[in-house]
Amino acid sequence: MVLPISDAYRSRSDNESAIVRRQDPVVYGEPADGALTEHQLRSYQKNGFIFLNEFFAPGEVAGFLREARRLAADPAIAGREEAITEPGSDEVRSIFAAHRLDPLFGRVARDARLVAIAQQILGSEVYVHQSRLNLKPGFVGKDFYWHSDFETWHVEDGMPRMRALSCTVLLTENNELNGPLLLVPGSHLHYISCVGETPDDHYKASLRKQEYGVPDPMSLNLLIERGGIRSMKGAAGSVILFDCNTMHGSNSNISPYPRANLFMVYNSVENRLGPPRHGLKPRPEFVSAREHTAALEPVQTEYASWR
């Protein structure tokens, strides 16, 4: 897909921020497409997210958590560029490309139920644009400041349109103490154009702490006054699905209770990446898929062998 000459989602090009109405559908499929009910689709359309409580069984998610901890403790993984540490600490913050580094998480990404939901919402076959394990360790797990993923993916990756969604699998309980995901209902219907010129290789700093592509306080206030803030607390095994333009963030974890989540981004095969904006060079494949964009082949997955 080629962007028009006039970019509807221009950002980091002006001296002032702006709020722009969304130019794309939120839900591309229909209830008849199967995976989600009409009520669930309406909720996703209105709020920009849905919560699926205890989607995975306790035994399944326990296996996912063991594998996540194994990867985080593996010196071979820690030495890779995909492993991002916390600011000011050697604790692992994120492990990118989890679905390609680990066979178990590769199967989770292709779980037929998740793929069917992504296909229904996005109205096409899908591929994984990005995946990562987000490990927010107790006491040292830092915050993720407010942002819209699409703003970054559009500017730094060249994602043309808002036709992607994020899928978060809770590997531990996410509660009010350990920095759960915070979402702003309805924020997906407006795009925040941000200020600031993006430096080269911005990802090297932004994966630890993002400073460019973050919304200004006035725009955030307007979004939150209208929609409020929803804390996505829930049991391990639950799944959060949210639109690529939904404003979100999370607080630091100053509790002793670690928070671990598996994060996957499904993008429509009709929305593959173009050139990044402003002449930026493409980010690495582990952050932003350009080569691994074949449509996912769903699998009816049995996770017992990983327990």
Q: What is the pLDDT of residues 146-201, one digit of tens each?
A: 999 999 999 999 999 999 999 999 999 999 999 999 999 999 999 999 887 776 65
Output helix, strand, coil percentages for the chain, rounded to the nearest 5.
30, 25, 45
Q: Is the pLDDT of residue 81 over 50?
A: yes
Domain assignment of residue 301, given as a range: 24-306
Q: Is residue 38 part of a domain?
A: yes
pLDDT (0 to 100) of residue 254: 93
Q: Is the pLDDT of residue 245 over 50?
A: yes
Q: Is residue 11 part of a domain?
A: no
**Which is higher by pLDDT, 221 or 4?**
221
CA atoms within 13 A of residue 71's CA, in its CB half-sphere: 30
pLDDT (0 to 100) of residue 306: 57
Q: Is the pLDDT of residue 3 over 70?
A: no
Burial 206-228 (b: 16+ CB within 10 A, else e): bbeebebbbbbeebbebbbeebe
Return the CATH number at 46.
2.60.120.620
pLDDT (0 to 100) of residue 212: 59
User: pTM (2 decimals)?
Assistant: 0.92
Q: Is residue 264 part of a domain?
A: yes
Q: Is residue 201 part of a domain?
A: yes
Tens digits of residue pLDDT in 85-131: 877 677 788 999 999 999 999 999 999 999 999 999 999 999 999 99
Query: Are 236 and 61 contacting, i.e. CB atoms less than 8 angstroms apart?
Result: yes
The number of domains in the chain is 1
Residue 2: pLDDT band with limits 50, 70, 90: very low
Q: Is residue 1 part of a domain?
A: no
pLDDT (0 to 100) of residue 197: 74
Tens digits of residue pLDDT in 27-38: 999 887 779 999
Q: Which residues contact 33 (CB under 8 A, 6 or more apart)?
A: 119, 120
pLDDT (0 to 100) of residue 208: 46
Q: Is residue 17 part of a domain?
A: no
CA-wise closest residue to 162 among 9, 289, 6: 9
Q: Is residue 3 part of a domain?
A: no
pLDDT (0 to 100) of residue 272: 98
